[in-house]
Every structure is written in structure tokens, then in C-alpha cells.
Amino acid sequence: DQQVKQNSPSLSVQEGRISILNCDYTNSMFDYFLWYKKYPAEGPTFLISISSIKDKNEDGRFTVFLNKSAKHLSLHIVPSQPGDSAVYFCAAQASGTYKYIFGTGTRLKVLA
């Protein structure tokens, strides 16, 4: 049973608009979350993280929101650029562990 779910396999957004990628989790022990971006033929690249003591973390065009009561996090990219077209993975880490549990990814396509 998947503990980290990315229910949208793909998303298309117009350049300049906001991209919102979603991630749901089931394990209430998760307290640290990350987003990775992956281009074809490359490994995942760390993008942004958030600890459960926060509900928002911002880095330039990227903002991650955490809703602990809903067990939901989202990544907002604004404004979206064609270079943002990639697969985005969310990952979660439970309290007291070092393992990350990954989602299956969402493919974002930003249209010029």
C-alpha cells in the first residue's frame, strides 16, 4: 500500500501561469517532506523541503505548502517556465527514521 501518493500522473500548464503539484500521504508519522525534479535521462534533483513544524516554505518561484490535518502537500511554481517541464516526485520521511518514501511522480509540461 502506497504511503505517498501523487494521484495526477501528468499536468499541462501555460507558460507564465501557476503550476500546482499535489501529494497525499497516509502515515501520520511523516514529519519531513521533499520535492525532487527529474529531467529525462537524468537523476532526480532536490528542489525544496519542508518540516512539519512549518506549513509553508518558499524558495524563489517554488513554494511548498503542508496541510498536516489533511495529510497533503503541494508544490506551487509561479510563474511556470518551459524549463520546468519535468517529472516531480514528492518524498516523505517519518519521525525517528532516515528512509524516504517516494511518490510515483507527476509529469509537468509547461507550454510556451
Partner 1 sequence: ETGVTQTPRHLVMGMTNKKSLKCEQHLGHNAMYWYKQSAKKPLELMFVYSLEERVENNSVPSRFSPECPNSSHLFLHLHTLQPEDSALYLCASSRNRGRDQPQHFGDGTRLSIL
Contact 70, 62 (CB under 8 A): no
At its nearest, how many Å lie between partner 1 and the CB of residue 55?
17
Reading the block at residue 18, the C-alpha cell is: 501557476
Among 7, 26, 51, 81, which residue interacts with partner 1 (rule: CB under 8 A)? 51
Q: Which amino acid is at 104?
A: T
Residue closer to partner 1, measured from CB, 28 or 104 = 104
Among 19, 75, 86, 103, binds partner 1 (CB under 8 A): 103
Rounded to whole angstroms, the Cα distance separating 52 from 18 reads: 24
Least distance CB 59 / partner 1 (angstroms): 12
Q: In the complex with partner 1, which residue's Cβ is closer, 43 or 112?
A: 43
Asked if 28 is part of the footprint of partner 1 (rule: CB under 8 A), the reply reads no
Query: In what side-by-side order are the strands of the sheet with 56-59?
Result: 4-5, 19-25, 72-77, 62-67, 56-59
Quick one: how many helices (H) and strands (E) in the chain? 0, 11
Residues lying near partner 1 in the complex (CB under 8 A) are found at 2, 4, 32, 34, 36, 41-46, 49, 51, 89, 93, 98-105
